[in-house]
Amino acid sequence: MEYKQTRQGYVDALIEMAEELPEMVVLDADVGKATLTLQFAKLFPERFFNCGIQEQNMLCVAAGMSLEGKIPFASTFGVFATCRAGDQLRNGIAYPKANVKVAVTHCGITVGGDGASHQSNEDIAITRSFPNMTILVPGDYEEAKLATKAAARMNGPVYLRLGRDKYPVISELHGSFIIGKSKLLYPGTDITIITTGIMVSEAIKARELLSEEGFSIRVVHMGTIKPIDEVAILKAAKETKGIVTIEEHSIVGGLGEAVAGIVAENHPCPVRRVGMRDIFGESGQAQELLDKFGMRAKNIIEEVKKIL
């Protein structure tokens, strides 16, 4: 299986779009080596702006550029864009519906050795609560490219969530990316697993193991968290015995709560959530942390069997 970085997919998409979209510019907060935007800067130096370690200022500059007809992609780490610059993200971008794409890397527990201070496990919850904000969480390198291009084409604020580590390339995710639409990866009638971001590979593993035991498992991938695909969620609630969500994010305010809220209001069924509990992370290797905090196929299987 091939492994690639979602942040690399983001930058490769920017480079591919550069000629087509001359109004597109890229901003960074002095972490261009980590976000990989320096690769864009080398090719298009006149369209790259390093704002320094000033995330709040960077988002304000991006908002101003959007008013002048530019399409700014502002990059930093997820925790800095949402926690440090949350005021500017809310009032400078979401509130006025500024056409700014905030593309963040190093999200979730797989940031690894940087520890709890840099592991953004609450950023989806924060941005979900902002009106006008579109939230995209691609599952692999190719989908990250597709999501970046979709973000550039739409008018309005976008929060594009990317990771640090290398993750499996999942062919089922490829082909197209429609904002607000999920992807049915596998049909099934017993339980639906709904996934987002890099957890898609663990969901597929869980399905394979459960299939060996004779269970029919549906797998739905949510590349868009907001606006979320309510139709696919309610279809799963009506056609299967329950739903298990899996996300590399806190279960507080993330994918799981979004799914549970829709189900509770429209067609109640059992919903179990797999993700970070209400706890901060810690330093460690990415794969070790996924094991420790229970974001593996075996954890999904445990929740599936609780429903069945």
Q: Which tens digit of pLDDT belongs to each residue from 285-306? A: 999 999 999 999 999 999 999 9
pLDDT(156) > 90: yes
At residue 1, the pLDDT reads: 83
Q: What is the residue-wise DSSP string for 290-308?
A: HHHTT-SHHHHHHHHHHH-
Residues 89 and 206 occupy one common structural domain = no
Domain range for 137 is 3-168
Given 107, 139, 168, the domain boundary residue is 168
CB 105 within 8 Å of CB 78: yes
Task: Confirm whether pTM is higher than 0.85.
Answer: yes
Last residue of a domain, one of 141, 168, 195: 168
Report the CATH number that the domain containing residue 30 is assigned in CATH.
Answer: 3.40.50.970
Is 55 noted as a catalytic residue in this protein?
yes
Rounded to whole angstroms, how far apart are CA atoms 70 and 49? 13
Q: What is the pLDDT of residues 157-213, one digit of tens each?
A: 999 999 999 999 999 999 999 999 999 999 999 999 999 999 999 999 999 999 999
Residues 143 and 21 in one domain: yes
The DSSP-derived string for the chain is --EEEHHHHHHHHHHHHTTT-TTEEEEESS-HHHHSTHHHHHH-GGGEEE--S-HHHHHHHHHHHHHTT-EEEEEEEHHIIIIISHHHIIIIIITTT---EEEEESBSGGGGGG-TTT-BSSHHHHHHTSTT-EEE--SSHHHHHHHHHHHHHS-S-EEEE--SSEEE--GGG-S---TT--EEEE--SSEEEEE-GGGHHHHHHHHHHHHHTT--EEEEE-SEEES--HHHHHHHHHHSS-EEEEEEEESSSSHHHHHHHHHHHHS---EEEEEE-SS---SS-HHHHHHHTT-SHHHHHHHHHHH-
- Residue 237 reports pLDDT greater than 90: yes
Asked whether residue 221 carries a pLDDT value surpassing 90, the answer given is yes
| Over residues 89-110, mean pLDDT | 98
Q: Please report the pLDDT score of residue 118 as a whole number.
A: 96
Q: Answer yes or no: do 162 and 58 share one domain.
A: yes
Selected catalytic residue, list 55, 142, 257, 303: 55
The gap from C-alpha 115 to its chain's centroid, in whole angstroms, comes to 19
Predicted pLDDT of residue 143: 98
Residue where a domain terminates, one of 145, 168, 191: 168
83 & 192 share domain: no
Number of compact structural domains in the chain: 2
Let me know whether 129 and 156 are in one domain.
yes
CATH code for the domain in which residue 272 is found: 3.40.50.920
Same domain, 99 and 201: no
Residue 23's alpha-carbon distances to 40, 69, 95, 131, 190, in angstroms, are 14, 7, 23, 26, 48
Identify the band that residue 102 occupies on the pLDDT scale cut at 50, 70 and 90: very high
Residues 158 and 225 in one domain: no
**What pLDDT is attached to residue 238?**
98
Whole-number percent of the chain with pLDDT over 90 = 100
115 and 212: one domain?
A: no
Mean pLDDT of the chain: 97
